[in-house]
Copies of this chain bind each other. A is one copy, B any other.
Amino acid sequence: MSPAAARAAFRAGLRVPTSGYSAGWTQANLIALPRDYAYDFLLFAQRNPKSCPVLDVTEPGETSASIFAGDLRTDLPAYRVYRDGELVEEVGDVTGLWRDDLVSFLVGCSFTFEAALLEAGVPVRHIETGGNVPMYRTNRDCRPAGRMSGPLVVSMRPVPASMVATAVRITSRYPAVHGAPVHIGEPADLGIGDIDSPDFGEPVEIRPGEIPVFWACGVTPQAAVMQSRPPFAIGHAPGHMAITDARDSEFLVP
Chain A residues packing against B (C-beta within 8 Å): 38-39, 42-43, 46-47, 54, 57, 169, 172-173, 175, 179-180, 253-254
Contact = CB atoms under 8 A, between A and B. Distances in A.
B57 A254 contact: no
A254 B180 contact: yes
20 contacts: A38-B39, A39-B42, A42-B42, A42-B43, A46-B54, A46-B57, A47-B57, A169-B254, A172-B253, A172-B254, A173-B253, A173-B254, A175-B175, A175-B253, A175-B254, A179-B254, A180-B254, A253-B253, A253-B254, A254-B254
A253 B168 CA distance: 12
Contacts of A39: 38-39, 42
Contacts of A254: 169, 172-173, 175, 179-180, 253-254
Contacts of A173: 253-254
Nearest to A172: B254
A254 B173 CA distance: 5
Contacts of A43: 42, 57
Give me the 4 closest cross-chain CB pairs, A-B, nearest first.
A172-B254, A39-B39, A173-B254, A42-B42
Contacts of A253: 172-173, 175, 179, 253-254
Contacts of A180: 254
Contacts of A38: 39
A78 to B, nearest CB: 26
A44 to B, nearest CB: 11
Nearest to A40: B39
Contacts of A179: 253-254
Nearest to A254: B172
A67 to B, nearest CB: 11
Contacts of A169: 254
A96 to B, nearest CB: 28
A173 B175 CA distance: 11
Nearest to A105: B46
Highest count of chain B CB atoms <10 Å: which of A47, A179, A254: A254
Contacts of A46: 42, 54, 57
A172 B252 CA distance: 10
Given A39-B39, A173-B254, A254-B254, 13 more contacts: A42-B42, A42-B46, A43-B57, A46-B57, A47-B57, A172-B253, A172-B254, A173-B253, A175-B253, A175-B254, A179-B254, A253-B253, A253-B254
